[in-house]
């Protein structure tokens, strides 16, 4: 893949699509494509490394265990999620393809 918009799944796909774009020691860059998916109820990510995410297309809501309100992300919005920060995807737009660029770092 040489284009972030290449090979997008149809909007009817039931699972998120994860594509690794680059991997080096202490660094992984991936494209995540959501078509209405969200985290399971009562599930929280608690990752050992940090993650910086950029919403390239679409919309999403991210929740953090230590914040009372979820964050509504639109195209162009980004967030840095430090290691062991409990977070979850509350919602991604079901009527459009949401594309994330995720940079995982040590």
pLDDT band at 10 (very low <50, low <70, confident <90, very high): confident
Task: State how far the Cα of 62 lies from the Cα of 1, in Å rounded to an integer.
Answer: 27
Q: What is the pTM of this model?
A: 0.91
Give pLDDT tens digits for 54-95.
999 999 999 999 999 999 999 999 999 999 999 999 999 998
Number of domains observed in the structure of the chain: 1
Which CATH number characterizes residue 84's domain?
A: 2.60.120.10
Asked if residue 10 belongs to a domain, the reply is: no
Whether the Cβ atoms of residue 19 and residue 1 lie closer than 8 Å to each other: yes
The helix (run of H) or strand (run of E) holding residue 92 is: strand 87-92
Return the pLDDT at 9. 82
Asked if residue 13 belongs to a domain, the reply is: no
Task: State how far the Cα of 74 lies from the Cα of 56, in Å rounded to an integer.
Answer: 8
The boundaries of the domain holding residue 71 are: 20-105
Which residue shows structure tokens 């999403």? Answer: 60
Burial class (CB in 10 A: 0-12, 13-18, 19+), 86: middle
């Amino acid at each position: 893949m040489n284009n972030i918009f290449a090979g997008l799944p149809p909007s009817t796909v039931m699972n998120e699509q994860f594509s690794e774009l680059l991997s080096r020691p202490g660094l992984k860059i991936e494209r995540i494509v959501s078509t209405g998916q969200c985290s399971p109820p009562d599930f929280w990510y608690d990752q050992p490394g940090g993650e910086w995410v950029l919403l390239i297309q679409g919309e999403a809501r991210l929740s953090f265990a230590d914040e009372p309100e979820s964050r509504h992300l639109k195209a162009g919005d980004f967030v840095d999620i430090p290691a062991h920060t409990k977070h979850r995807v509350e919602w991604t737009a079901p009527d459009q393809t949401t594309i994330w660029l995720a940079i995982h770092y040590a």
